[in-house]
Amino acid sequence: MNDKFEYLLRQGDNALILSQQISQLCGKGPALEEDMALTNVALDLLGQTRMWLAYAGELEGRGRGEDQLAYLRDAHDMRCCLLVEQPNGNYAETIMRQFYFDSWHYFLMQGLLKSSDARIAQIAEKSIKEVTYHLRRSGDLVVRMGDGTAHSHGLTQAAANDLWMYSGEMFIYDGVDDAMVEQGVAPASEPLRAAFLEHVGEIFAEATLVMPAPSAWMQRGGKQGRHSEHLGFILAEMQFLQRAYPGAQW
């Protein structure tokens, strides 16, 4: 399969699955303002999903659009990283998952603004304002919870530790990623990882959190279609209507 098609699926699936995860919390936020903000993040990510998957479908040339790619692929065909499919858990876990993702996502979009593929650069340009807000918001919440009560600090530190093993997969490049770097489509891994670690370190210091060791072993496999059991449950709910009533439209 075309490397660029695979790369586009990875970006679209990351945004799609995280959007689905966050949308499950609509109406369940700890405060009304936060509930609305989290729902808006989910909508932002869904809008980005549509751009990535629409381009992927066009490039594939098999007549599959964004809807078919989102709702008619099984778990082993999905290319999201393992981080985004981790359970919502408590709110510290939800926000820490978001913060790790946002910290990578922001620097990736910055790199994709310079992509040799004009369409990808355009998607990055349309997404960067939203992604910048996402990063600022999740970072602020990590600081508030980490430097809050003893209880909130403990939950936030535990979330940081537990999810750390999923924070590095995005920087572990394979043949698809390497091809995109070689073609000037995507940024190299090392600068992204360095920027990620620097930003996470700064936020954790402000939040009085201990940053896990950067050299720690990382889970991997999601980008190649090897997922945790969590993704199957996510897809079962997300894809039910389309699979039960094929071709259904509002």
Instruction: Give me the CATH number covering residue 15.
Output: 1.20.1260.10
Averaged over 229-248, what is the pLDDT? Answer: 92
Chain segment 109-136, per-residue pLDDT in tens: 999 999 999 999 999 999 999 999 999 9
Number of domains in the chain: 1
Q: Is 250 inside a domain boundary?
A: no
Name which of 4, 10, 13, 3 is nearest 49 in CA terms: 13
Averaged over 201-213, what is the pLDDT? Answer: 97
Range of the domain at 160: 2-244
Q: Please say whether the beta carbons of 103 and 81 come within 8 A.
A: no
Q: Is 249 inside a domain boundary?
A: no
Name which of 55, 171, 52, 151 is nearest 107 in CA terms: 171
Q: Is 137 inside a domain boundary?
A: yes
Instruction: Using the predicted structure, report yes or no on whether residue 249 has a pLDDT greater than 80.
Output: no
Q: What angle do CA 190, 202, 223 make, to 5 degrees?
A: 40
Q: Please say whether the beta carbons of 81 and 87 come within 8 A.
A: no
pTM: 0.96
Distances (CA, A) of 13 to 16, 83, 103, 113: 5, 12, 17, 20
Chain segment 138-163, per-residue pLDDT in tens: 999 999 999 999 999 999 999 999 99
Q: Is 50 inside a domain boundary?
A: yes
